[in-house]
Amino acid sequence: MSANKWNISGEYMESCNCDYLCPCIYTNPQGEATFDHCTALMIFRIDQGQCGDVDLGGLKFALVIRSGRVMSHGNWIFANVVDDSADEAQRTALGGIVSGEAGGVPGMIRDNLVSDYRGLQFKPINFVMDGLSRSVEIPGVLTYEIEGVPSRNGNGQPFYIDNTGHPANTRLALARSKFTRIQAFDLDLEMQGKGNNGHFAPFSWAA
């Protein structure tokens, strides 16, 4: 696909199995994860999006990642889920974007860090935002709920970390997970009440 043929923007959230605050974020990501791997579940809601003549607004997708102890060393497991409400043209367009075939941020991830691509599924994706809370459910795949860490300024805003190298946004709201679960793509993880790491932010990608 030629350059500047697609663009998507909207809201993103994430939970990973690292302790809060994930060392992958503040070490750019050269530091070791809390455990022997980092499993990151990144969910995106497209508010505005276009791929050629195909409108992608209103659709959602997931990037499922498992790295080794140090994320920058590569050898990631990578998989995708696309909203099953997408029609055939939308499935083709968005599937190409999120899998990395159409370049952009997912293409950079796939080309440089992934050694084991486990494919694309189409499932209903329930993406909920309520104040500082974010939650997602993809039946048969994953579910989690995160809560933004409130600033002590008492302004109803979360703490932020800025100038990161994160692919969703350089400025991330900090959050803790209430629970995180994935049972798909031969990955199995369940964390309940651990307060593990989370983030949310707007995102905007194009290629």
pTM: 0.95
Q: What is the mean pLDDT of the chain?
A: 95
Identify the H or E element spanning 204.
strand 197-206
Report helix, strand or coil for 110: helix
Burial of 161 (0-12, 13-18, 19+ CB in 10 A): middle
pLDDT tens sequence across 34-82: 999 999 999 999 999 999 999 999 999 999 999 999 999 999 999 999 9
Distance CA 187, CA 21 (A): 23
CB contact at 8 A, 200 and 12: yes
- Show the CA angle centred on residue 105, arms to residues 101 and 107, nearest 5°: 25
pLDDT tens sequence across 156-205: 899 999 999 999 999 999 999 999 999 999 999 999 888 999 999 999 99
